[in-house]
Structure 1
């Protein structure tokens, strides 16, 4: 199936439509909430919570004996919330930093989850098969009810983010000031962390425990390169996440036996790479262009400053003696000389160049500004 055929069938084929909508919604909610994790400098939070949810999936199956998606995700949600609470408790009650607490919870919970899955696989009941798909995800198992659940959770999450937008924003950038104004910063932290946990749990079935943190962080990291405003970053993160889901699903459906989750993550990584290179504000390409422009301007100003130092000692800046001294100067480049000509700071006649009145005044202004900055 090629891309044209895919986009033709996506409106008619139930499976393709369900998977595409599910991955788009998951990418959007993950990207938007991931913006808060990135700006809070808790990039490992998504990784820790997704890994912490694995033992919840295993325990939910052991306690109920069924593989219902709702039951397993409920177990993952409880386990993820417990992991989040333990992370906060470790940071609050010990001298360990948040990154240490995140790594500790990630390792312990994931190890416990793998141990439980190994135990389940050795059970004589054949009903346990398929739980390991939550490690890497299996988007093909999405059904319409899952998409409706994702839509409902996304709507509720957006409502809560909009309702507490000012509080979230203030707590994100200056928690001490927010606390001094009377806001319950602990509640705000717990609320945004809970929303992130819910978004991660929703993505376990599609992307899996291992890769879910990339869905949370990659769109936000890409959006961060394009803007300095929180609102714009949240919107861009949602767009990048949704596009990652749609394009990744299209690639997966167009290829042979390509897992949807990993392809979606790779597409999100491409958005990050393109943003790192081409973003106007922080992109490597524009940074290099600005560096070269500043270097050329510096060379031009250096040449103009030398001309000024020569010309200010002569009453006539176009006197042949001044012109001869200027033309013996070799501390310039062709680009800087051309810039000076284009700006009419110097004139060239018979391969000889001299300083103009406009260039002299510009050099005087440049020196005056330099002296004022030192004062």
Structure 2
């Protein structure tokens, strides 16, 4: 089946649209969580949503998405407020507060889920799919609910853009300007809970934390500005969501939620390796280039010192002497300097070994290198 045939399928269209909404919400709101160094917040809120899912089911008496998501939002918000209360009113650090909230709410949710499943009613069938997600269970009628939640979250980000940006980067300065920092932090945490709610049916409680963190982490590698990071995170979330949904449809028996997370994780891996200036490969290349430049400058300085010691600017230094000084083969470095016109290979009778001497350009380069550190030391 071709990709076009897959996308023409009604069920797959629904899943792809849901994955796109999830990518937008998680990418945009996850950026703020990552910048605030609260990457575990998505994990805590997603696990804290489980008791709300169960309570929403009990209130509605059926697996009705609106009630379930509303319950998940309520319990996620309560967990977020409890976490903020614990970290501000006690000596607990943020990670400890998140751990307490995550474990307590998830334990409560597991108890409620076990109780509901113990009733044996047909209405509760598939309720446990919210643990790991079941994208195929998404109906076209569920998309307006997911779209409305995403739209509310994006609207709040747009309206409070300057305030949220300031709170993320410098909350003390924001407080000095009279901004309600605590209120903004609570609101931002509730918005992240909205993103969690959007993805519960798609990727489930367990994997939703990855969708909050991964697109933002990937985008952070490519952008130095919040605006670019947020847009890139949304794009990465959409690409990862749609890719996972299509791969799931193409391969029978493959779960959509894990494939979405794996797709976004692959984007993170590529970003960590290849992002300009911050990628690991770029860093390795920069480190190798710096080492080569340092070794080149060191060899020039050594040749210059030997020439000064013999009071001869064109003094030929034996290659073996240079290699003995550095404890390794230096032929490649010397040939590289020769190609740049800084040194030349010469003979030095009666000795038969290879010797090197500075050219006029090499002498000037060595003196500049020696003058630089002395000037910096004087400054």
Is this contact kept in 2: 1:227–1:281, CA < 8 A? Answer: no
Is this contact kept in 2: 1:326–1:354, CA < 8 A? Answer: no
Is this contact kept in 2: 1:310–1:326, CA < 8 A? Answer: no
Q: Tell me which moved more, 85-94 or 266-275.
A: 266-275
Deviation, 1:156, is 3.0
Match of 1:30 among 15, 23, 26: 26
Distance change >3 Å, CA 47–CA 200, structure 1 → 2? same
Deviation, 1:279, is 2.0
- For residues 257-295 of structure 1, give each alpha carbon's deviation from its aligned partner in whole angstroms, at most 9, with x where no partner exists: 111001111111111222222222222222221221111
Map of 1:117-128 to 2, 5 A cutoff?
117-128=113-124
Structure 2, gaps ≥5 residues long: 348-353
Q: What's 2:361 paired with?
A: 358
Q: Tell me which moved more, 223-232 or 101-110.
A: 223-232
Match of 1:338 among 335, 340, 353: 335
- For residues 118-170 of structure 1, give each alpha carbon's deviation from its aligned partner in whole angstroms, at most 9, with x where no partner exists: 11111143222221111111111222232233333333322322222222121
Q: What's 2:172 paired with?
A: 176
1:144 is the counterpart of 2:147: no
1:132 is the counterpart of 2:162: no
CA distance in 2 between counterparts of 1:326 and 1:363 reads 18
CA distance in 2 between counterparts of 1:196 and 1:324 reads 67
Relative to the length of structure 2, the TM-score reads 0.92
Match of 1:309 among 292, 305, 310: 305
Deviation, 1:90, is 0.8
Secondary structure at the aligned position of 1:309 is classed as helix
Is this contact kept in 1: 2:218–2:268, CA < 8 A? Answer: yes
Q: What's 1:158 paired with?
A: 154
Is this contact kept in 2: 1:299–1:333, CA < 8 A? Answer: no
Q: Tell me which moved more, 306-315 or 128-137.
A: 306-315
CA distance in 2 between counterparts of 1:373 and 1:67 reads 71
Q: Tell me which moved more, 104-113 or 135-144.
A: 135-144
CA distance in 2 between counterparts of 1:327 and 1:79 reads 74
Secondary structure at the aligned position of 2:154 is classed as helix
Distance change >3 Å, CA 324–CA 255, structure 1 → 2? closer
Q: What's 1:323 paired with?
A: 316
Relative to the length of structure 1, the TM-score reads 0.93
Map of 1:1-375 to 2, 5 A cutoff?
1=1, 5-10=2-7, 12-313=8-309, 316-318=312-314, 322-324=315-317, 328-330=321-323, 331=326, 333-349=330-346, 352-375=355-378
Q: Tell me which moved more, 155-164 or 166-175.
A: 155-164
CA distance in 2 between counterparts of 1:324 and 1:220 reads 55
CA distance in 2 between counterparts of 1:96 and 1:324 reads 65
Aligned residues: 368
- For residues 203-257 of structure 1, give each alpha carbon's deviation from its aligned partner in whole angstroms, at most 9, with x where no partner exists: 1011111111111111112222223222222122111111111110111011111
Deviation, 1:361, is 1.3
Is this contact kept in 2: 1:307–1:326, CA < 8 A? Answer: no
CA distance in 1 between counterparts of 2:183 and 2:253 reads 45
Q: Report the RMSD for the aligned CA atoms in angstroms.
A: 1.8
Q: What's 2:351 paired with?
A: none
